[in-house]
Amino acid sequence: MLKLYSFGPGANSLKPLLTLYEKGLEFEGIRLNPATFEHHSDWYKEINPRGQVPALVDDSYPGGRVITESTVICEYLEDKYPTAVKLRPDDYADRADMRVWTKWVDEYFCWCVSTIGWSRMVSQMAKAISAEEFEERVKAIPIPEQQVKWRRARDGFPQDLLDEEMRKIAVSVRRLDDHLADNEWLAGGMYSLADICNYAIAGGMQLGFSELVNANDTPHLLRWIEQIAARPAVKRMYAEVPMESLKPQD
C-alpha cells in the first residue's frame, strides 16, 4: 500500500497527488493540517525529519520506505509503478527537457511564488498566535531556513525581497507563456511530469496573480491551465480531495 502525506491539492503536495490520480494507483491519502502545525509534530518528523509535505510511504518494502521531495516522488512512482498512463517521454533528450522544467520549478518558480503566498497568507496565521506560542512553534521547525521564513511571516517580509520575488514571478509566467505559444505541452510533445509539476504552482495564478496571468498577457499559459484542469484525473482529484480545506501555507 502507498500512503501519501500531504496538505491536499496545492503546491508541492499536488505534484505526487495528481501523479497518483493520473496513473490510477491506489493509495491512502493522509492530510495534515498546517493550521495546527501538524507537519512539525514529532510523529510526522519521524516520517519526514524535515517537517515538510509531501512524503510518500511505500509499504511494499519491509517496514515501509519513505520517499520525500515532491518531484522525486513523482519520478519514483513512474519508475516503480509503470502503468499504461506514461508521464515521461521515452526519448532521452525529451526526458532531459522534461527534467529541465521540473528542476526549474523546484529551484526557481516555486520559491518566488511561495514567498508571496507566505507574505499574503501564512503571515496571518503567524501573527494570530501569542509570542510564547510562536516561539514554541518555531522551536519545533527542523529546517533553519524555514524558521527564518516563519519569523519573516510574523514580522513582515522586507519590501525589497517581495519586489524581487514579484519580478521573478513575472519572468516565470513570461517564460511559460512564450514556450506554450509554440508547444501544446512543456516537454516531449506530451503531457508529462513537467506539466504536472508546473501546474502545481501555476494552476491557480489566474486568480491569485491576475495582474500577470490573464487572457491578454498570457493567453497560452491560460489555455494550458484550462487544458490540464479539464483532465478527468484532475477533476477526480479535486472532487475527492477538495481545495476549500487547503490551509494558508500550502
Ligand X SMILES: N[C@@H](CCC(=O)N[C@@H](CS)C(=O)NCC(=O)O)C(=O)O
Query: Where along the sequence are the contacts to ligand X (CB under 6 A)?
Result: 7, 11-13, 39, 52-54, 69-70, 106, 146, 249-250
Neighbours of 124 (CB within 10 A): 10
- CB nearer to ligand X: give 88 or 222: 88
Rounded to the nearest whole angstrom, what is the least distance from the CB of residue 121 to ligand X in the complex? Answer: 12
- CB nearer to ligand X: give 177 or 195: 195
Rounded to the nearest whole angstrom, what is the least distance from the CB of residue 34 to ligand X in the complex? Answer: 6
Rounded to the nearest whole angstrom, what is the least distance from the CB of residue 219 to ligand X in the complex? Answer: 28
Q: What is the dihedral of CA 41, 44, 50, 55, to 10 degrees?
A: -150
Three cell numbers, residue 14: 499536488
Rounded to the nearest whole angstrom, what is the least distance from the CB of residue 90 to ligand X in the complex? Answer: 25
Rounded to the nearest whole angstrom, what is the least distance from the CB of residue 69 to ligand X in the complex? Answer: 5
- CB nearer to ligand X: give 222 or 237: 237
Three cell numbers, residue 250: 500550502
Closest to 27 (Cα-Cα) out of 63, 81, 87: 81
- CB nearer to ligand X: give 93 or 100: 100
- CB nearer to ligand X: give 78 or 106: 106
- CB nearer to ligand X: give 140 or 214: 140
CB neighbour burial string for 205-243, b if at least 16 within 10 angstroms, e if fewer: bbeebeebbeeeebebbbebbebbeebebbeebbeebee
β-pairing verdict for 55-58 and 65-68:
antiparallel
Rounded to the nearest whole angstrom, what is the least distance from the CB of residue 215 to ligand X in the complex? Answer: 28
What are the angstrom distances between the C-alpha of 80 and each of 19, 188, 247? 13, 21, 31
Measured in degrees and rounded to the nearest 5, phi and psi for residue 5 equal -90, 125
Q: Which residue is nearest to ligand X (CB)?
A: 52
